[in-house]
């Protein structure tokens, strides 16, 4: 039994010696191809990553190439159309009767919606040019600014004091005098803030965000000013 196994082993060895196939084929042919394939895959990945990075940079920088003329002539009108669509209004068909039919809540809500659209325009402009638009650069949104101004006018026209509480011109004049005192106090606050702002920032107040610390006082000042005008008109009648 042992001799049979030995013979089988010897026969197999002799057979390999005379076989035309090389005994060391694995040593003579190192596996270079998988390494090359891996190298190609790595280069392809790097190339794809580089292309993606370049593409992303180009995509990010593309809006920066927009000139002011292009913005005012092309992008600005497009922003106006998008705003009107979101507001669902057609300014060419808007009439005085449409505004008069709104109650105070509707006017206030509409004013807020329009103001948000105007702020959105400023923010998009700032995102491209790294500054807020100047007055002439807001020209594409002029129709919406006019609409916003009309809304404010209708809101301001709403009576602030019930008519039945004022019976004589003397009472009206007293109310006017009280309001003027309050207006003078607010004007002093606003003037002080303006002087401090100019001194600290080396420029005058230009943007809405500049008056954020005194926005409440500024609104009170405007409301009181309009109320004084309204009461003075009542006396003239």
Instruction: Enter the pTM of the model.
Output: 0.42
Task: Count other Cβ atoms within 10 Å, centred on residue 50.
Answer: 10
Give per-residue pLDDT as tens, 35-74.
Answer: 334 433 444 434 444 443 433 343 333 345 788 888 989 9
Give per-residue pLDDT as tens, 66-117.
Answer: 888 889 899 899 999 999 999 998 988 888 888 888 888 889 999 999 999 9
| DSSP secondary structure string for all residues of 120-179 | HHHHHHHHHHSS---TGGGGGGHHHHHHHHHHHHHHHHS-SS-GGG--SHHHHHHHHHHH
pLDDT at 64: 53
Distances (CA, A) of 109 to 79, 82, 122: 21, 19, 20
- pLDDT band for position 211 (cuts 50, 70, 90): confident
Among candidates 134, 122, 231, 123, which has minimal Cα distance to 173? Answer: 231
Q: How far apart are CA 114 and CA 99, in angstroms?
A: 14
pLDDT at 158: 66
Cβ neighbours of residue 219 under 8 Å, at least 6 residues apart? none
Q: How far apart are CA 110 and CA 147, in angstroms?
A: 10
* 200 Rama sector, left if φ>0, alpha if ψ -120 to 50, beta otherwise: alpha
Cβ neighbours of residue 61 under 8 Å, at least 6 residues apart? none
Taking the CA of residue 222 as centre, how many other CA atoms within 13 Å lie in the half-sphere pointing to its CB?
9
Q: How far apart are CA 69 and CA 136, in angstroms?
A: 11
User: What is the helix (H) or strand (E) element at residue 41, kind and residue range?
Assistant: helix 32-61
- Helical residues (DSSP H) of 62-103, grouped into ranges: 68-70, 76-87, 96-100
User: Average pLDDT of the chain?
Assistant: 75
User: What is the helix (H) or strand (E) element at residue 52, kind and residue range?
Assistant: helix 32-61
- pLDDT band for position 159 (cuts 50, 70, 90): low
End-to-end CA distance of the chain: 137
Cβ neighbours of residue 187 under 8 Å, at least 6 residues apart? 221
């Amino acid at each position: 039994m042992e001799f049979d196994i030995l013979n089988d082993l010897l026969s197999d060895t002799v057979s390999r010696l005379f076989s035309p196939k090389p005994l060391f084929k694995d040593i003579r042919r190192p596996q270079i191809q998988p390494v090359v394939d891996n190298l190609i895959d790595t280069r392809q990945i790097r190339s794809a990553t580089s292309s993606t990075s370049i593409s992303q940079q180009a995509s990010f920088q593309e809006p920066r190439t927009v000139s002011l003329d292009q913005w005012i002539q092309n992008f600005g009108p497009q922003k106006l159309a998008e705003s009107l669509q979101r507001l669902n209004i057609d300014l060419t068909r808007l009439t005085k009767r449409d505004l008069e039919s709104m109650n105070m809540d509707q006017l206030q809500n509409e004013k807020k919606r329009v103001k948000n659209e105007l702020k959105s325009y400023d923010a998009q402009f700032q995102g491209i040019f790294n500054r807020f638009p100047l007055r002439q650069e807001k020209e594409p949104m002029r129709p919406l600014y006019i609409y916003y101004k009309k809304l404010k006018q209708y809101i301001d026209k709403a009576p602030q004091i019930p008519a039945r509480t004022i019976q004589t011109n003397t009472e009206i004049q007293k109310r006017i005098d009280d309001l003027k005192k309050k207006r003078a106090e607010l004007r002093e606050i606003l003037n002080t803030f303006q002087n401090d702002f100019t001194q600290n920032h080396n420029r005058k107040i230009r943007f809405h965000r500049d008056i954020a610390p005194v926005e409440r006082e500024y609104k009170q000042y405007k409301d009181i000013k309009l109320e004084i005008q309204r009461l003075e008109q009542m006396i003239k009648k």
